[in-house]
A = this chain, B = another copy of it.
Amino acid sequence: MDFACNGKFLRVNLSDGTLESEPVDEALWRRFGGGWGLVGYFLLRETAPGIDPLGPRNPLIFATGVLTGCRIPGSGRHSVGAKSPLTGGFGTAEAGGYWGVELKRTGFDGVIIEGQSSDPVYLYIHDGEAELRDASDLWGKTTGEAHEFLLSALGKQVRTALIGQAGENLVPYASIIHDLGHVAGRTGLGAVMGSKRLKAICVQGAKGISIADTDEIKKISQWLVQNLEPLCGWRRDLGTSALVLAYDALGGLPTRNFREGSFEEAEEISGEKLRDEYLVGRKSCYGCPIRCKRVVSIRDRYTVDPMYGGPEYETIVALGANCGINDLQAVAKANELCAAYGLDTISTGVTVAWAMECAEQGLLPEAEAEGLCFGNKDAMLEIIPRIAKREGLGYLLSKGAYRAAGLIGSGAEHYAMHVKGQELPMHEPRLKRAMGLGYIASPTGADHNHNAHDNAYVAPGRFLDMATTLGIQGPIPLESLETEKLRALHYQTLWMTAYNCIGICFFLPYSYEQIQRAVKGATGWETSTWELMKIGERAFNMGQAFNVIQGLDPDLDVLPKRFFEPLEGGILHGAAIDSDIFGKALGEYYELIGWDPITHIPSMGKLRELGLDWVINLLPT
């Protein structure tokens, strides 16, 4: 095929060691865009209700999108997906970097891993060939050790997707680490990989990715380069860590397990301090001149290896302010440990913070708390490897905040900051109320990768302009949960989900028109914002349909009670979500997106409108 994709996936059965090439035709690409969309397609077709997420019948899917590797900045992304061991429902996570592009260069657009190997293996895909190799020596190794071994064995050009001990030990929020610095972090896909005894997927290819219109692609790239400084200067300079002080100033910096909205020592963990004191470099993703990713090196109170890059906003806050920790060195070390052991930093930080608050509240006996309390950085650093190894208190915490709280009971659930079992990212719902609705409605549980930021709509600027282009009429007050805010949330969700299908980074300041031109440039398709939004909507609905089929309890589609209680500290001190207003808005939102407000099942009309009539037959009757 000649439309930016190879038109085939590699299907690997680890139970019997077979490897096959499977066609994925242009019609499927056009309907699903790739990434999340194709993950959803394969999961819905191939996954029976009630399967064990950590059993052989759960396929682990790596999928690029039509834009992956299309040579415009931001096109280095791919998706990973499976039934999530964390939520029991739709699991997907995206990663940037180079791995997805390199996979495409091998001649495959994606990989579907089925079954379960009896012994540890790794998969090596190179130049249209694929083979399984013994990984016994790599089992138990950190991701860094395994990565170095694989590069020395296969050559320095190889790209790796790896799990650490967390994945091997089936921690349900284990991540998949690509080239050590690009993480598919959420929904516990590392554990799915671990359950298959697959340590790594290494890719290396030399095949070109065919582009329908290289001039068009060049134009977009040039535009970005020319506008880099005014539009992306701050991202270049500070990366996502710029948000630490920004959200502290807005009163929405999750602090001490979301109890507070401002951290008195935010300066100490700020992006500015990170840049000024520890930054030794900036990592890029494929083709991106922004280079927003941090590389830090520390040899002081803690030793932090630059091999793993450095912490981003979510990580700094989850393992910093949210644990009451004010030492950026410790935060960077925690980030390194999570990368080395293959743990999602958000879920790790929120689960540790839960334990800290439980200890403070006397719900976790001092003798068992292993020193965890808000601000105790060394206790935090010690517990991370123990979570990955499931030792001592680490065993309890390896369950994630929601399940751990269920185990100890006595009100500990009150302190578990999760939706559907997945821990909240670092966006405070009392600041961002529509995002709170988005957490609930997301097929993956609390997730910020396809969600709306209420603060984006309060004043003129790029995000409000983007919303206006879709017909939203703003500005919309920060606290509003009126119709216009719900529409903004809906449309933003669809667009971000589309990004997660086609394989483009949301940090790039492209307009809808530019993305449309990029898709045309890559594929030759005459497309439209409408078609792309519908790709996002289709993927989003497929995720939820999967949840319904897997029997997820709609009663778990709630926000933790904490957010209906007054926030402490900062300029939003005392702010609480009104549960009546929120509940009404949630019901309206479900109706607005075409899902039943009680069961949360996508309507047959919505599924048909998206061309998903075949999914209707899969739903429980």
Q: Are B611 and A588 in contact (CB under 8 A)?
A: no
A529 to B532, CA, bound (A): 10
Closest to A511 in B: B526
Q: Which of A412-420, A452-460, A463-471 contacts B (4 or more CB under 8 A)?
A: A463-471
Confirm or deny: A235 has a beta carbon within 8 angstroms of a beta carbon on chain B. no
Residues of B close to A483: CB separation below 8 A? 608, 611, 613
Residues of B close to A535: CB separation below 8 A? 471
Q: Are A592 and B611 in contact (CB under 8 A)?
A: no
Which one of B30, B528, B531, B609 lies within 8 Å of A592 (CB-CB)? B609
A611 to B535, CA, bound (A): 22
Q: Which of A78-86, A290-298, A484-492 contacts B (4 or more CB under 8 A)?
A: A484-492
Confirm or deny: A395 has a beta carbon within 8 angstroms of a beta carbon on chain B. no
Which one of B491, B529, B591 lies within 8 Å of A608 (CB-CB)? B591
Q: Are B471 and A526 in contact (CB under 8 A)?
A: no
Confirm or deny: A510 has a beta carbon within 8 angstroms of a beta carbon on chain B. no
Interface centre among A484, A525, A528, A592 (most CB of B within 10 A): A528
Contact with B along A582-620 (1 / 0, CB 8 A): 000000101111100000000111001101010000000
Confirm or deny: A42 has a beta carbon within 8 angstroms of a beta carbon on chain B. no
Number of copies: 2
Q: Are A609 and B534 in contact (CB under 8 A)?
A: no
Residues of B close to A149: CB separation below 8 A? none
Closest to A613 in B: B483
Confirm or deny: A512 has a beta carbon within 8 angstroms of a beta carbon on chain B. yes
Q: Are B470 and A528 in contact (CB under 8 A)?
A: yes
Shortest distance from the beta carbon of A347 to any chain B beta carbon, whole Å: 32
Q: Are A529 and B526 in contact (CB under 8 A)?
A: no
Shortest distance from the beta carbon of A537 to any chain B beta carbon, whole Å: 10
Shortest distance from the beta carbon of A213 to any chain B beta carbon, whole Å: 15
Task: Using known A-B contacts A603-B591, A613-B483, determine if residue A527 contacts B608 with beta carbons closer than 8 Å.
Answer: no
Shortest distance from the beta carbon of A33 to any chain B beta carbon, whole Å: 10
Q: Are B528 and A30 in contact (CB under 8 A)?
A: no
Confirm or deny: A433 has a beta carbon within 8 angstroms of a beta carbon on chain B. no
Confirm or deny: A533 has a beta carbon within 8 angstroms of a beta carbon on chain B. yes
Q: Are A469 and B604 in contact (CB under 8 A)?
A: no
Which one of B533, B592, B613 lies within 8 Å of A530 (CB-CB)? B533
Contact with B along A489-530 (1 / 0, CB 8 A): 011000000000000000000011100000000000111111
Task: Using known A-B contacts A31-B471, A471-B31, A487-B609, determine if residue A594 contacts B592 with beta carbons closer than 8 Å.
Answer: no
Shortest distance from the beta carbon of A581 to any chain B beta carbon, whole Å: 15
Closest to A535 in B: B471
Residues of B close to A528: CB separation below 8 A? 469-471, 512-513, 529-530
Where the two chains meet, the residues of A that have a C-beta atom closer than 8 Å to any C-beta of B are: 27, 30-31, 465, 468-471, 473, 482-484, 486-487, 490-491, 511-513, 525-531, 533-535, 588, 590-594, 603-605, 608-609, 611, 613
Q: List 7 A-B contacts (CB under 8 A).
A: A27-B473, A30-B473, A469-B528, A470-B534, A471-B535, A529-B529, A530-B530
